[in-house]
Structure 1
Amino acid sequence: MQLWFNTSLQRKINGLLAVLLSFLFVVIIYSIYKLKLIDAEMHEVAELDVPLTEVISELEMMQLKQHLLIEQFRLKNNKIKKNLEPEEAFATQREALKYLLDRAVRVLNKSLQQHQVRFAPTEHQQILTSIEQFHQQSDSFEKSLQLALKAGSTTEQRWRQLEEQTASLDQRISAVLQHMDKLTLKASRYTDKHENEFMLVNTSLGFCAFVLGLYLTFYIMQIFRLRIGRIQAGIKNVHNAIEQGAPIENLHFNRPNHQDELSELENDLKMMVQRLSEEITNRKEIEEQLLVLATRDKLTGAFNRHKWDEQLRMELSLAERGGIFSIALLDVDYFKKVNDQFGHHIGDKVLQVLTERINQRLRKTDRLFRMGGEEFVILLPQQTADAACQMAELLREYIATLNEPELPTFTISFGVTQYCAGDDDDSILRRADQALYKAKNTGRNQVQVS
């Protein structure tokens, strides 16, 4: 069973269709067999039931006529109706009765010998035995009747004996008729039973075939809907990832257990999605790295000169429409001495610590840029020169009191300026540089505004 589930979808469908066609073939073969059986039974019933029914009707009529003849014999003996000659009529009736019974015997024997009776063989034999006994009893009655007729006159006692024999014959022929009625009834019931069984079994098999076909159809539709749904979800995931440029979400790659065509297609798609996701992730990481390299200073992590030019042009554009901003230019006091005395690696460490500490105390909207060497500039959107000076003073005091292990103490100087109408990127930076130069010349470790 497990091997069947792991086969291709085409083999699954072919196998299921083979099962359904085999089932329908069995239904057809069974139907043909039962129809032939019922047809044979109908022939048998037709050859038995119809002739026997005719014999029964004629026997009942003959029995009635025989009663009338017996009564005529009685009238003749009493000389009531002298012109009646019932002997010949009685002989004729007896021959006709014998003929009918012989007909019944032939029908029963034919049914027993030629058709190999499928039902009530015992009843067939009982009817034959009853007919034989009737013939014997009828012969005995006929002899008694002939003796009574030859005697010319018959006593009342003799007539009572004849009447008793007549009643016995009536009972015998009635028993034969009952047996025949019973046999024909059984034949009809036997055929009805097989017809009902055929209808029931055929209906059951047809219903089972319908249910099996419905189940197979539903199963195949479910397989297609499930697998195609997964494939469509994967394609939509890829489409969204490409549009957003983000890694593919909910990526769980498990090799399918069922290796059919749709599973293989789904597997290939998942492998492609996984690879695409890795490529998107790698590309995003590379883009982020390139963005950092393009906008950040490699040593300190502060924004670089290229990013400064971009942000400054943006702030100038906003300021021309009524906005304000300030900049604070700063550098490390006596930085050359630090490099000469402690080495460039310590100097680099000083710049890294300075960048880290300043960034910790800036607003989210403020930006720190490294302009080159130990010189930095802070861009302060929506800040006046006074507010920028207060911020710069706080930073200066904090750096002056900074105590970092394995680093010398150092100070910084600030040159602060605010945007003025007509400023461009050179003029505003030039004023800030003049303020910084003034702070350097007046003793360093201070803030000057221009």
Structure 2
Amino acid sequence: MGKKRSLTGTLLAAAIMTVAGCSGQGAVSGEAATAPADPADASGTITVLTHRTDLVQNGTMKKYAAEFNKIYPEVKVEFEGLTDYEGEVKIRMNTDDYGDVLMIPAAVAKNDYPKFFAPLGSAAELGDKYRFSDKAEVGGKVYGISTFGTANGFLYNKAVWRKAGITDWPTTPREFLDDLKAIEARTDALPYYTNFKDGWPLTSWSNNIGSVTCDAEANDKLAGPVSPWKRGGDLHTVDSLLYGIVAGGLSEKDPSTTNWEASKGMIARGEVATMQLGSWAITQMRAAAEKAGTDPDDIGFMPFPVRKGGKYCAVLASDYQQAVSVHSGHKTAARAWVDWFTEKSGFPAKEGAVPALRSAPMPDTLDDFVDNDVTFLERSEARTGAVNDIDNAAEIGLNKPDYRQKLVDIARGAQDGSLEDFLADLDQRWNEAAGTIGS
């Protein structure tokens, strides 16, 4: 996440077509990546592709490999940190050489997983053990295990919000906007930072699908001509709030100048009050506060400003899932790494993230959520494949930044249009696509 990147526009479309072109590479063996019965059964050199270039460059991944080798001494682990992870991996997937272990790229259609990745086990077996396993389940088999999960909400600087006289979390979008206006009036901080230029932070708004309606199956329910942006629905509420922030002048004047890395220091120093992100970002912002000489405990995390039955809800969504390449010559060693990294490395705890392993405790970064009885919902991924098919056919991109960048531009007057017309157009395109490909 420290170096996360996303593709936009025509480049992403080309990448998707590139991956689709891989599907004609011949028959899929279906050979499973089976965990070794004995550590001595795992051997060979494996290459792990990762988007975490920061952890590769600072030596953290080598330290993980050293710990792994205490159990699996016959396996050599090499890492490739890719800055433009999505773009580079999708190109490499035209060949047989895309590492032994990799994070499943977002643009690979779920139903195509068996063409590229080795099965790891049955949905029943792995679902009992790991959260988020249904995200990578195809035909009763699981093809990836989550590195970790994340709760979704808003990072905020508690000191800034207190200075504005706000001590309680907002309970409605209107209260949230009023609080941002109070921050603008009573402090020197920018109330909200969009991270528009990097793009990918805008995609995290989609991870609040389900938090608004307190429905773990809300994403699955998009699989059809259901007008996802109709009033009262998750996406209408989510995107209307983003529009309201920008239209109200509560974010940066020129979003094309935003900078993700710089934003960490800005919120840590109290120059920015609020950003919409996953809970994985808490540790990064607190580290930035330590570097800036400010109080890390001032970095807080609040749920999306809607309550159902008097309680907030927060969807838990999977981050990247580790998979084993169907072409790996060392599938047993690769699977040993995936299992160890998921269960033994301590990586989720260090990242302040929700562990995939169900038996592991929630991270202390979410203590405020636990203490305030926020309801955690593990997002169902049962119909993700169908939702993605409609999304791609409609050319909207729920998990891409483009349409929200356009929404921001309309809100700030850089493009013509209104919120109502924009959302109505999204509904129409979605419904037409759903009618074409079926639900």
Q: Tell me the TM-score normalized by structure 1.
A: 0.15
More strand by share: 2
Larger RCO of the pair (alpha carbons < 8 Å, separation 6+): 2
- Higher helix fraction (1 or 2): 1
Give the TM-score normalised by the residue count of structure 2: 0.15
Of the two, which has the highest radius of gyration? 1
